[in-house]
Structure 1
Amino acid sequence: MSTNRVEKGGIVIIGGGLAGLFCALKLSPRPVTVLASAPIGEGASSAWAQGGIAAAVSDEDSAEEHLADTIAAGAGIVDVDMARLMVREGPERVHDLLAYGVPFDRDLEGRLALSREAAHSQRRIVRVGGDMAGRAIMEALIAAVRRTPSITVIENLQAERLLVEDGAVCGVVAHADRGQGARLRFPARAVAICTGGIGHLYRLTTNPSEASGTGTGMAARAGAVIADAEFVQFHPTALDVSRDPAPLATEALRGDGATLINRAGDRFMQAIHPDAELAPRDIVARGIFAEIQAGRGAFLDCRQAIGDHFPQMFPTVYRHCMEAGIDPVTAPIPVAPAAHYHMGGIWTDADGRTSLTGLYAAGEAACTGVHGANRLASNSLLEAVVFAARIALSIASGNAGGAPAEPIVEEGASADDHEADRRIMADLRDIMNRNVGVLRESAGLTGALRAMATMRGGDSIENSLAVARLVTLGALLREESRGGHFRSDWPAEEQAFERRSALKLADAETMIADII
């Protein structure tokens, strides 16, 4: 680490979602600069989360039971030590959120009201207003950030490149006004990537456009190790109403008894898994996908289980349905699997440190190993707050801090061709949806890599392309089916692949050149 790097810059957090804001609050009163590509909260997938946050907070539950459910869902490759750490620290982080003003639902006796979701053995999902947890959590954190003087938030600023000096990250280059304005350089002693996932790399997704792999791609291009890239979770019940992104029908609907039927009214999941509609998400997604592919359609039937209570219990889903001309009180809801969550991402240790000195990651952009091959429902918000807090503790213990990062205008920076980049992104999303989706096979994956090899664009597009190539190559190299990764030409789990994967972009590009 060079002397120049130590003397300059402050703490920069990239991302204005749950992980980024929670980390910034936990670092207080140390000065922190948060770079957000949209107004904080607006472009964050965490704000869209409906189910809630999973934590063993009831007397009937325990961290060990939560750990067992997490391991079972992760299909053999969960990092058990990391997952144990997460579930043990989870209840304390829920209390932190309460202290920041999150209005979690309570019962008549004042205790946290808990619900159950797929593959959980206990009721442990802490919710707000039924299906508004993400929005409520973000509103509370945004208010807390606004009243914290040590936090400087710069919105509408698209981070696009990490600066590396002597093998250590020493700053960030960002584009003002969402890529339309000047390029700015932020020197930094510590950078935390909290940019969210990659869902918008797929044509059908529940994620906002900001979830296009920017942070993971930046880290990959800087030389960081990317882990478990092939594991993408497809939410089984996105509303199939031709919207981009697709609104989702929360898992809690099925937890409260809603069933999946085809056009003939048959409950097809009963023949696929003993837990039927509450089977792990990957199994439900493939069940729905098969019904759609067979022309029978797939629908979520809430009429009997929820009925007239739908508007009060699940107001967000109800609004989306009514906007699409569907009344879920009286009619089944058309659903389809959509790219929802990336289990892979930037490899980190228990303190959020990546393989690059000075670089941290938390939230969906990170890969801690707690999700394995298939994330347990509502563990995502839990992971975000647990490891964001640990990053803050790690940075604070290393005495990183000083003044807020002051931007330097990059002179002579060339402008990107935004229209060309938009066309490339549209093509990339089609390729990912068609060849790297719910079902994968060798020819499609190889064809996707071949098509991506001809694509070139500005920094933001190059970040997305880097992630797409890593996901696709990881899926091609993993010749088995496990968790969220399903190969129609390798439909069984293989013991040889009961391990996590790790790739650096430079090595991946060498392998891709040999393949295509």
Structure 2
Amino acid sequence: MHVDIIILGSGIAALQTARLLPKHKHVLVITKGDLRTSSSYIAQGGIASVTQPKDSFASHIADTLAAGVAHNYEPHVNNLVTDGKTALDALITQGFAIDAHVGLEGAHSHHRIVHAGGDATGRHLTEHLINQLPSNVHIHTHELAYALLHNTAGDIIGVRTTTQCYFAAQTIIATGGAGALYTYTSNQPKSFGDGIAMAALAGAAVADMEFMQFHPSLLYKDERCFGLVSEAVRGAGARFVDDTGDYFMNGQDLAPRHITARAVYERRAAGHDVYLDISAIANFEQHFPTVSAICQRADVPLSTQRIPIAPGSHFLMGGILTDDVGQTSLRGLYAVGEAACSGVHGANRLASNSLLEGLAFGMRLAEHLAQAPAQTNWHLRHAPVAPNTALLPLEQLQQLMMQHAGIMRSGLTLQQLKNKLPIIHQIAPDQAELALAHVTARLIVSGALARQETRGAHIREDYPQQNDALSNRLLIQQQHTIVRRTWHEFIQTTAHAERIFY
């Protein structure tokens, strides 16, 4: 089957791109679930955007850079903040209903978090974008893509799914992050970084895979996580407290996530249960209906005014290396949203910049593809038949990732974990999803092993300090090897000679 553009994924970045692409293009969206099983859909946080008179783009940029710990690429952060506001304003003009109250979240210096439906912004935004999809966009749900197709020149000309091959001049990966590689996560249960793994296997450059953000407050009961307790709850006045009654953050409950997640982790490691004290929030159920429903499902009565929590995987700052419009190092292949690494998040994402990223860079990518050249070489390069590989069971993989590539890491245990992960070159269709999860896990572990410092969300027990020599230094992985440790370099791509990659 031939189309103009393929989009893999169904979250905010995928839907924003799809709805803004030229209407004469035949666009095919392929997702392994349905349109409402993305992590975007369950996002409780809002959209960070400058809306208040005392706020400014400069302040939002500064907060993003501070959270990113000297690892963001500032020109792209500027695109995120300015184009993100343009994209959000356009949505509001088109009828996207937002709440009157503008919230505050961790590491923001101003109230700038725009919500829709209280703590259900992701669901409201997803539904709005779905309703705006034009007739040229066609949806294939419950179909797993597992390999990219090359032509004889090495360009990407489509994808292979478990049912058939699809050909397109441009293929966009918007499959989201990889939080479900960990036992405790805020992500949807099948967020394994499929698209990142596919791109890596196809030869694309990936970067910053070691930077997995852990959220400090997942509702935790009976050794099980039930879902996210949004940072907006702390923005409304909740505080961290342990089972002795100690408010251990000393008023810094809205510190950046790597600080709060580590504090909660260490308090739990010392044998204490940790809670969010919500006693300062009046009418909690009215303001936070999603969190209230999660508490009800977990049988946690709000009358206690304490929600039991633990940290868990939340957002991947790394991904497929892209420029400012989503172009990857392979001609014909683009990436957007959490699957992409454009440098906007640095070593630690600022709260509520994720939905903003999908809106901003989805718009930028759609505008770029309106002028993209047509593919002329449709000669498919032969791919060898992939053998089955000995793989760890998913639950074991998740446990090992949580133990050894989680919040606290060390070189010894990372190397031990890496030795258990096979090197995979091709994916066999009958084990596709699990094999893709292993590829992504190995990328994370390899990056974590190579970054011999503590920075942002990446914490090494054996390298507890930041290494100034690694400030603004990427670890770029390609073909199972770390090939570059440089920043803001010019690299040649078959698509755009001398486009700036960083």
TM-score, with normalisation over the residues of structure 2?
0.89
Residue aligning to 1:12: 6
- CA-to-aligned-CA distance 1:392-429 (integer Å, 9 cap, x gap): 11111115599xx9xx9x9x999989xx97x6222211
Q: Equivalent of 2:164, from 169, 184, 200?
A: 184
For residues 422-441 of structure 1, the aligned pairs below 5 Å read 424-441=393-410
2:294 aligned with 1:323 = no
Distance between the aligned counterparts of 2:322 and 2:30, measured in 1? 21
Deviation at 1:217, TM superposition (A): 0.3
* CA distances 1:347-380 after superposition (whole Å, capped 9, x unpaired): 0000110111011101100011010000000001
Q: 1:258 aligns with which of 238, 262, 274?
A: 238
Residue equivalent to 1:152: 138
Pair 9,139 (structure 1): closer, same or farther in 2 beyond 3 Å = closer
> Which position in structure 2 is the counterpart of 1:338?
312
Gapped regions of structure 2 (runs ≥ 5):
485-502
1:219 corresponds, among 196, 199, 223, to 199
Structure 1 position 507, deviation (Å): 4.2
Q: 4+ runs of 1 displaced by more than 6 Å? A: 412-417, 454-457
Contact 1:197–1:342 (Cα < 8 Å) also in 2: yes
1:444 is displaced (CA, Å) by 0.9
Partner residue in 1 for 2:252: 276
Shift of 1:144: 1.6
Letter in 2 for 1:26: L
Distance in 1 of aligned mates of 2:137 and 2:324:
24
Match of 1:228 in 2: 208
Structure-2 separation of matches of 1:26 and 1:243? 43
Q: Which amino acid aligns with 1:267?
A: Y
Query: Which residue of 1 is the match for residue 126 of structure 2?
Result: 138
SS in 2 for 1:334: strand
Structure 2 residue 95 is the aligned partner of structure 1 residue 120: no
1:97 matched to 2:91 = yes
What is the match of residue 459 of structure 2? Answer: 486
Which one has a larger percent helix, Structure 1 or Structure 2?
1
CA distance in structure 1 between the aligned counterparts of 2:362 and 2:105, rounded to whole angstroms: 24
**Structure 1 contact 237–249 (Cα < 8 Å) conserved:** yes
Distance change (3 Å), C-alpha of 1:396 and 1:510: closer
1:439 aligned partner, one-letter code: M
Q: Which position in structure 2 is the counterpart of 1:164?
A: 150
Question: Residues 249 and 401 of structure 1: is their aligned pair in 2 closer, same or farther, counting only changes over 3 Å?
Answer: farther
Q: 2:281 aligns with which of 282, 295, 306?
A: 306
Question: Does structure 1 retain, via aligned residues, the 8 Å contact 2:3–2:28?
Answer: no
* Count of residues in Structure 1 that have an aligned counterpart in Structure 2: 474
Residue number in structure 1 paired with 2:73: 79
Shift of 1:141: 1.1
Distance in 2, Cα, partners of 1:12 & 1:393: 16
Q: CA deviation at 1:453?
A: 2.9
Q: What code does the residue aligned with 1:168 have?
A: D
- Whether the aligned pair in 2 keeps the contact of 1:31 and 1:401 (CA below 8 Å) is no
**Deviations 1:270-317 (Å, cap 9, x if unpaired)?**
1xxxx51011101100100111111111100001x114x011000010
Task: Report the alpha carbon displacement of residue 142 of structure 1 after superposing the two structures with TM.
Answer: 1.3
**C-alpha distance in 1, partners of 2:94/2:481?**
42
Does 2:186 match 1:210? no
Is residue 61 of structure 2 the alignment partner of residue 56 of structure 1?
Answer: no
CA distance in 2, matches of 1:414, 1:356: 22
Q: 1:62 to 1:471 in 2, by over 3 A?
A: same
Equivalent residue number for residue 180 of structure 1? none
Deviations 1:201-243 (Å, cap 9, x if unpaired)? 1111111123101000000000011011100000100001258
For residues 446-473 of structure 1, give each alpha carbon's deviation from its aligned partner in whole angstroms, at most 9, with x where no partner exists.
1110111388973332322121111111
Residue 444 (structure 2) aligns with: 471
What is the rounded CA distance, in whole Å, between the counterparts of 1:299 and 1:330 in structure 2? 11
The answer as to whether partners of 2:16 and 2:129 remain within 8 angstroms in 1 is yes
Q: Deviations over 1:85-120 (max 9, x none)?
A: 1111121111232245422112xxxxxx31110000
Closer, same or farther: CA 355–254 of 1 in aligned 2, 3 Å: same
- Provide closer, same or farther for how the CA distance between residues 98 and 256 of structure 1 changes in structure 2, counting only shifts above 3 A: same
Aligned to 2:349: 375
Aligned-CA RMSD value:
2.5
Q: Is the counterpart of residue 390 in structure 1 residue 364 in structure 2?
A: yes
Task: Summarize the Cα distance change of 1:333–1:357 in structure 2 as closer, same or farther, 3 Å threshold.
Answer: same
Write the distance in 2 (CA, Å) between the matches of 1:385 and 1:245.
29
Contact 1:302–1:329 (8 Å) recurs in 2:
no
Cα 1:464–1:509 shift into 2, 3 Å: farther
Name the CA distance, whole Å, in 1 between partners of 2:439 and 2:482: 9
Deviates more, 1:23-32 or 1:118-127: 23-32
The answer to which of 90-99 and 126-135 deviates more is: 90-99
Secondary structure at the residue paired with 1:162?
strand
Is 1:448 matched with 2:417? yes
> Kindly, what percent of the aligned residue pairs are identical?
38
Equivalent residue for 1:351?
A: 325
Counterpart residue type for residue 389 of structure 1: M
In structure 2, the partner of 1:179 is none
User: How many Å separate the matches in 1 of 2:94 and 2:246?
Assistant: 46
Letter in 1 for 2:210: E
More deviation, 225-234/494-503: 494-503
Q: 1:400 to 1:124 in 2, by over 3 A?
A: farther
Distance 1:490 1:430, change over 3 A: same
Query: Aligned to 2:232, what secondary structure does the other structure show?
Result: helix
- Cα 1:220–1:190 change in 2 (3 A) is same
Task: Select 2:64's aligned residue among 45, 70, 76.
Answer: 70
Q: Secondary structure at the match of 2:460?
A: coil
Quote the Cα distance in structure 1 between the aligned partners of 2:225 and 2:369. 35
Q: Say whether residues 1:287 and 2:263 are aligned partners.
A: yes
Structure 1: give runs of 5+ residues left out of the alignment: 1-6, 107-112, 176-182, 512-516
Change (3 A) 1:472 1:259: same
